[in-house]
Structure 1
Amino acid sequence: MLNKEKVRVGIAPIAWTEDDMPEMGAGNSFLQTISEIALTGYTGTEIGCQYPHNPDVLNEEFGRRGLSAITAWISTYINEKPMWWNERAFIDHMNFLKSIGATLINVSDQSYSIQHCWDTPLANKYVLNDDEWDVLAKGLDHLGKIAVENGMQIVYHHHMTTTVQKTGEIDRLMEMTDPKYVNLIYDTGHLTFSGEDPVEILNKHFNRIKHVHLKNVREDAMKKAYAEGKSFLRSIPEGVFTVPGDPEGMVDFPSVFKILEEKGYEGWLVVEAEQDPDIANPLDYAKTAREYVNKFTGL
């Protein structure tokens, strides 16, 4: 079992309202979402698109429900936009997170990304050249140093359809960045959807993993997305993602939990699965995932 003093279980609100397609779940309000999160036994939440960005409101409403703010996504464009632009946006985001008690900054570089391209097939993702890798690594180290100087920490989100998606790309980013400044989000769903082995990545990069996303994948929907040349966005309403504990999922979570326990993971475990809430009721799926995580971790 994982250490209850050092590991906490949270959830991302993306199952209630889909960040990349906010019309999906637009009727689920901020207060409904965080109330259902608390009701189902989670102690933390990431920040979603339906959440207000007023720290006073967030701190008050989270406090009422015994929730902690975990982190929030920021898109950088280190190879597309000047560093002053990235730095300014990063510092604003960092200060917002700091004001609500978070210490982790969820960073994903969206330079040349096809994540938000409705009709661009998954296979068309961009591959960085050597010079672009150098720019990305140096830029992330620069932003990571700013974070550390402010008591915060970058956790980089490898992600489908971005330039850091595959195993070799994750390896290269970890090799080229300073562990004092840049560490990793470990996302079981994005690794699986990308055709990678989540267990291999967890073993290889455990010392750099400071945050965990527990996301499941439906194999049939994944195979269909590749076979039909679907985009990332088009795969979501067709149910490519689901939560731990869903019998339709294919991720080997028992092995993942075993490694996290054996290696002494400390930090958040965050359930995350963007789905159409009109099809996959967020409250029901949150309950399923919470019970499953408790069964295998004791948390």
Structure 2
Amino acid sequence: MSTPLSRRSFLKQLGFTAAVSALPASSFAGFSAAVPPGMKIGYASITWGGNDVQAIKDIASLGFKGIQLRANTLETYSQKPDELRQLLKEHNLTVPVFSSGNVNINPAEKQVHMDKHIKHAKFLKSIGGGPYLQLTNNARPKDRQPTAQELKDIGKLMTEIGKRTADEGITVVYHNHMHQLGETPQEVEQIMEATDPKFVKLLLDIAHYHQGGGDPVKAIKQYKDLIHVLHLKDVQPLANSGENARTYKFVELGQGKVDMMGVFNALTEIKFKNWGIIELDGVPDKARSPLQCAQISKEFLQSKVGFKM
């Protein structure tokens, strides 16, 4: 016997159906792959713009078991981590990855950054999360290409941080990123060569890697022993509307140009068993909510990649 939907649930479902129906028919075409056995998939809170409580509720409502929180979480919970830990427990969520923010190779800022990330590692441990602490960087020059020494320095600095966070049982993962050191495949390779693989692993963001001129499928195979986290993410090119205009935007899975079929086939080939985190920096279509965006990506994974919650 079926249970009648509440008005609220009905409206949520209606909104989701409308959002999916509005997408082009080709959105999910051409995909045929499978999630590797043992791979775990979570969702990142970034789309909710700092509203962590709503992100936790929405992500849990979709059946995901992992959430990636960001450093802004400390503003609310640094003095009451038990409260966050209880909230996560109530919604059956863990925090396998924590976005710790940037590192900077400026010697004057080194200790500040070291202290910040060690503090974040301790916080992640206190809420029962981990084992991964995500690092990015803000050191890319604006008027030139980065030097080999700068790429080497960022790798060495992350290794130093990784040695310290390892004392807390937390592993540093480096997140490749547009407009930072590590924008291109060549830069990612140089940075990873400068790290100690015992203390720094790779969080491969497939959309940033694609936008930076790389092939995520090849990267998965190249870094198969270093990838411990994947950002499952898609990107769509935009028409150039000015010198300073952004030429791309991040979109729900299956809506952009990333070779998702190839990505999941490559993950199966390397027998990937760690975390894939669906990430969407912001809502690409203001007619949709963060929850509806998450539903679209979940639907893509379920219907085209065989993901089961």
Q: Does residue 65 of structure 2 align to residue 43 of structure 1?
A: yes
Aligned residues between the structures: 267
**1:240 aligned partner, one-letter code:** K
Is the CA contact 1:79–1:132 (under 8 Å) kept in the aligned structure 2? no
Once the two structures are superposed, residues 122-181 of structure 1 have per-residue CA deviations (whole angstroms, 9 ceiling, x without a partner) of xx4753223323322221211111122321111101101001110000111121211101
Once the two structures are superposed, residues 54-108 of structure 1 have per-residue CA deviations (whole angstroms, 9 ceiling, x without a partner) of 4212111111111111222221112353432222112111111111222100001
List aligned pairs for 1:181-192, cutoff 5 A.
181-192=199-210
Once the two structures are superposed, residues 238-296 of structure 1 have per-residue CA deviations (whole angstroms, 9 ceiling, x without a partner) of x71112133xx111101101111121112111111122373432111111111222341
Deviates more, 1:184-193 or 1:44-53: 44-53
Q: Does residue 172 of structure 2 align to residue 154 of structure 1?
A: yes
Could you say if the C-alpha distance between residues 203 and 254 of structure 1 is closer, same or farther in structure 2, counting changes exceeding 3 Å? same
Is the CA contact 1:105–1:153 (under 8 Å) kept in the aligned structure 2? yes
2:150 partner SS: helix
List aligned pairs for 1:79-228, cutoff 5 A.
79=106, 81-100=108-127, 101-112=129-140, 124=142, 127-219=145-237, 221=238, 224-225=239-240, 228=242
Q: Give the CA RMSD over aligned residues.
A: 2.2
Q: Does residue 40 of structure 2 align to residue 8 of structure 1?
A: yes
User: How far is 1:7 from its partner?
Assistant: 2.0
Once the two structures are superposed, residues 213-247 of structure 1 have per-residue CA deviations (whole angstroms, 9 ceiling, x without a partner) of 0111112x2xx35x63336xx56xxx71112133x
User: How far is 1:207 from its partner?
Assistant: 1.2
Which residue among 245, 250, 255 is the counterpart of 2:254?
Answer: 245
Could you say if the C-alpha distance between residues 11 and 31 of structure 1 is closer, same or farther in structure 2, counting changes exceeding 3 Å? same
Corresponding residue of 1:69: 95
Query: In structure 1, what is the Cα distance between the partners aligned to 2:155 and 2:307?
Result: 37
User: How far is 1:189 from its partner?
Assistant: 1.2
Between the two proteins, what is the percent identity of the paired residues?
A: 26
**1:84 aligned partner, one-letter code:** Q
Q: Which residues of structure 2 form unaligned runs of 5+?
A: 1-33
Deviates more, 1:41-50 or 1:53-62: 41-50
Query: In structure 2, what is the Cα distance between the partners aligned to 1:9 and 1:230?
Result: 35
1:210 partner SS: strand
Is the CA contact 2:36–2:267 (under 8 Å) kept in the aligned structure 1? no
Structure with max Cα Rg: 2
1:218 partner SS: strand
Which residue among 272, 280, 290 is the counterpart of 1:282?
Answer: 290
Corresponding residue of 2:302: 294
Deviates more, 1:49-58 or 1:267-276: 49-58
Query: In structure 1, what is the Cα distance between the partners aligned to 2:274 and 2:108?
Result: 32
Could you say if the C-alpha distance between residues 84 and 252 of structure 1 is closer, same or farther in structure 2, counting changes exceeding 3 Å? same
User: How far is 1:297 from its partner?
Assistant: 4.3
**1:66 aligned partner, one-letter code:** N
